[in-house]
Amino acid sequence: MERKSTADFGMSFLLACMLVFVLAASAATDNITPSRSIIDGETLVSSDETFELGFFSPGSSIKRYIGIWYKVSPETVVWVANREAPLLDRFGVLNVTKEGTINLLHKKTEMVWSSSRIRTAKNPVMQLLDSGNLVVKDGNESDSANFLWQSFDYPCDTLLPMMKLGKNFITGMNWSLTSWKSPDDPAPGRFTALIDPEGFPQLVVRNGSEIFYRGGSWNGERFTGTPDLKQIELSNLFKFEFELNRNEVYYKGEPYPALISRLAVNESGFLERFVRTKQSESWLEIYFAPRDECDYYAVCGAYSSCNTNNSPRLCTCMDGFEPMFPTEWDRLKWSGGCTRMTTLACRNSVFTKYNGLKFPDTSNSSFYTNMSLKECQAECSKNCSCMAYANSDIRNGGSGCLLWFGDLIDMRIYIDGGQDLYVRMANSTLGHLVVRKNSSEIKEVAIVVIPIILIGLVWGGIVFYLRRKKLAKRVGGKDEMELPVFDLDIIVKATDNFLDNNKLGQGGFGPVYKGRLPEGQEIAVKRLSKSSGQGSEEFKNEVVLIAKLQHRNLVRLLGCSVQGDEKMLIYEYMPNKSLDYFIFDQAKGKLLDWRRRMHIIDGIARGLLYLHQDSRLRIIHRDLKASNVLLDNDMCPKISDFGLARTIWGDQTEANTNKVVGTYGYMPPEYAVDGLFSIKSDVFSFGVLVLEIISGKKNRGFFHPDHSHNLVGHAWKLWMELKPLQFVDCNLEDCFVVSEVLRCIHVGLLCVQKRPEDRPNMSSVVLMLGSENPLPEPKLPGFFTERNLPESESYSSTHHELASENGVTISVLEAR
C-alpha cells in the first residue's frame, strides 16, 4: 500500500512538472526581468517571431550553450553566449540581475558566463529584439545608444542586418566575426573576419595572425575585391553601407524587407552570405569568398597580378618587373613575387596606368577624401616612397586620393568591375609606359627594331601556314598521337553508308553508328554532325586526350577519320549500350541486380581516379552522366565522350571558363554559376550518378508529390529523416546488402555537397566504397531542388529567382 502511494505521488509530481513546463512554454515572451529566469527548455522569442533564444546543443555534441537562432531555422545559430564555457548537463539557468548584468549559472549557484555593463540600471530588462540583438535596457528605453549591454557588440561567427563590422576608435570596441572551431564546437576557431583599420581600412579574413583572404578597401559602392556584389546591389535586394570618420569605421548590409539575411565566416575561413524568406524551406547562398585561387591572399607575391583566365599560369609580373625567383616561377610557385628590372630613381620616374585591378593591400597606405586625381598624382610624385596612387571613390567619375607605400601586394585582374591603378616606374622602362626620348634616339631604335619585327612576322606566318597545312592532313595522325587514321570509304562500308538500322544513338555532338571492319571487328562510329556545337577544337581535344588514356574503365579509341567536312571517331563497340539504357527503364532495370550496380559504381570511381590522378595527363571530364558510361559484354562500365574534357597541370586541381558547357542535373553549383571547374566537379557528377544507379531514377525531372526536391534533394531528405532505404530502386526488391546500399548512398551524398572543398577526392571515394570505416556526415547538397517557390512567396520576378534554391540563370550554357 505504501509503495502504491509513493508511485501515485511520483506520477502526480511528474504531471505537475510537465504542466509547469507546458505553461511556461506557452507563455513565450521576448523579455525577462530580475524576477524571472530561463531554464533549459524555455526560450525567449522576438516579437515578430524571427529569432529565438534558449539552450541548445550544436551538431552531435551533448554540451549545452545559450544561443540565438532563427525560429524558422533552429539549426542556424547566429550568436552564442558561453562559447568557451559549455554546460555539461541541462541544469543551466539564465537571468538578469537587479544591476543589469546577464548571468548564466549552473544549478543557480555556479557562475558559468556573465555579461558586462556600462552602468547600473533602475529597472533592468533583458529583451530579444526583432533584429536578433539581445539587449539589456533600463525600463522601456528603446534608444540603442542607451542600452546597458547588447549582443551586437560581441559578434560570434555571424553578421546580421543592423550589426556593424568594424571598430570604434573612441571606445576601442572591435566588431569582428570569429569562426566556430567545428560544427560541434562554437568556441572561437582559427578564422576572423574584420575591417582592418591600418592605412585605408579594408575587409580581411585572418587565419590566426596571417591574412587568408582580403576583400579590399571600400570604393564608395563595394569592396574592391568583390566586384560580383555589384549585381546583388543592382537587384535592389541589398543596401550596403560603409562609414569612415574620426570616431569609427564600420560596414553593414541591409536586405530587402521581405528577406532574412546573414553573413557568416565558416570553420574553413570562407565568408558566406545567405538569404531566405520566412516561408521558404532552406537558405540560398548568394555570395561566398574566396571564390577562386586568385582570391587567396598574396598568391602571386609583390608586383604581380593574378588572372584566372590565364590558368594554369595564373600570375604575371607587371611591365618593367621580372620574377624574383625564376626557377620557382617556372614551377608555378609565385609567392616570391616580382622585382624591378630597372632601379627606380625617384626624380626620373613616370606613372603607368593599369586597368581592371583589385587594388593592392592598403595596410601601408594613406588617403585624402577631398583631392582630385591630378592632385593625387602630384602628392605621390613628391614622396619618393609612394609606389602608386588611385581614386579612393569610384562614384561620380572618381574622387579622393589613395597612396601606396612599400610593395604592391595581392592584386588580381577582373574582366568586369576592376579599377584603375597608377604605378610608379623607372623612366627607362620599356613597354607601354610613357617614355621620354629625343627624336634621334627614337630613329636609332626604329632602324634596328622595325626590320626585326617584319622578319619575325614573315617567318611566323610561314610557320603558321605550314603547321595548319600539316594539321589539315592529319588531325589525329600517327606522328602526333600514334593513332590509326581510317579511310572514309572503309567507315562508309562498315556502317552500310550510315544506315539508320545501324544507328546506336544520338550523342551531344552527333549520331553514333554500329559498324563492322573487313576483318570482322565490331566498332562504334561517332560521326560529328555539321550542325553540332563541336568544331575542330573539340574534336581534336577528344582525339588527343583519349588516345593517351589506357584503363579498363575508359572506352578505347581505335582511331579516327578526317576527310573534308567529315570528322569521325572510331571506338570499340559496347554491346550493352550505355548505362541510362538500363537504369532508367522499368523493365530493363531488373537486369541490373545489386551486385552489378555495385560493380558499375566501383568501376566508374576507378575510371575517374585514373583520370584525376594516375594518367599521364590529369583530366577533368566535365560531362560525366549515365549516357556517357558504356557497358561491355560483362557489364563492365567504361567512361566515354571526352569532347568537353580539359587537362590540368602539375598540382593544379581547378580552373575556370567563360563558356559553361555540360548537362543539367550533373553540374555542380560553382561550375554552373561561376564557370569554376575542378576535379571536384567530376566528383559532384559522380555523386549524382551513384544516386541515380541506386534509385533507378533521373536527377533532373524527378518528381515527388510531397516536396519540390529533385532526386538529390529527395535522397538528402530521406537521409535526414533516417529513411534512406526508401530511396532504393523497387526493382531490387529486398535483394541487396543493406550495409553496402547505405554506404553507397552515404558516399553519393558526400560527393554532391554544395561546397567543393567538402567533397572527397576520388581516391578517398574508392577507399570509402571498399571499406567499412566510419564516414563523415554529409552537409547540404548543391542544386537539390528544381521547382520554384509558390507565387505567393514571390515579390518580383528577379527576387523570386533569387529566393529559390535553383534560381540560377546560365546564359552561356550548352545544355544537353
Extract the C-alpha cell encoding 153. 557588440
**How are beta strands 566-572 and 618-620 bridged, if at all?**
unpaired
Alpha carbon of residue 344 to chain centroid: 41
List the one residue out of 484, 539, 475 whose CA is nearest residue 507: 539
Q: Is the CB of residue 784 less than 8 Å from the CB of residue 710?
A: yes
In angstroms, rounded to a whole number, what is the distance separating the alpha carbons of residues 426 and 285? 46
* Number of neighbouring beta carbons within 10 Å of residue 621: 28
The CA-atom distances, in angstroms, between 118 and each of 101, 148, 184, 370 are: 10, 6, 33, 37
Only one residue has cell 516561408, namely: 279
CA nearest 580: which of 701, 406, 714, 399? 701
DSSP letter assigned to residue 433: S
Distance CA 777, CA 694 (A): 19
* CA R_g for the chain: 32
- Ordered DSSP codes for 206-254: EETTEEEEEEEEB-SSSBTT-TTHHHHHHTTSEEEEEEESSSEEEEEEE
**Region for 706 from its dihedrals, namely left if φ exceeds 0, alpha if ψ lies in -120 to 50, beta otherwise:** alpha
Amino acid at 560: C
Cα–Cα distance, 569 to 577 (Å, whole number): 17
* Residues, the chain: 816
Report the alpha-carbon distance of residue 393 to residue 395 in Å, rounded.
Answer: 6
CA dihedral 612, 618, 620, 624 (to 10 degrees): -50
Residues 6+ apart with CB under 8 A from 81: 65, 66, 67, 102, 104, 113, 115, 151
- Say what angle helices 738-751 and 711-720 make with each other, to 10 degrees: 120
Q: Amino acid identity, residue 299? A: V
| DSSP letter for each residue of 272-312 | EEEEE-SSSSS-EEEEEE--SGGGBTTTT-BTEEE-GGGTT
Contact 433, 319 (CB under 8 A): yes
| Residue located via cell numbers 582570391 | 295
Q: How far apart are CA 629 and CA 577, in angstroms?
A: 9
* DSSP for residue 789: P
Cβ–Cβ < 8 Å for 216, 225: yes
Geometric angle at alpha carbon 173, from 171 and 175, rounded to 5° = 155
Query: Which position has the grid cell 562504334?
Result: 524
CB 805 within 8 A of CB 282: yes
* Residue listed under C-alpha cell 545489386: 594
> Whose CA is closest to 170, among 249, 274, 247?
247
The catalytic residue among 157, 196, 410, 623 is 623
Is 623 known to be catalytic? yes
Q: Which residues pair with 87 in a beta bridge?
A: 64
| C-alpha cell belonging to residue 596 | 552489378
How far apart (Å, rounded) are the C-alpha atoms in residues 35 and 675? Answer: 58
Q: What is the C-alpha to C-alpha distance for residues 245 and 433, in angstroms, rounded to an integer?
A: 37
Residues labelled catalytic = 623
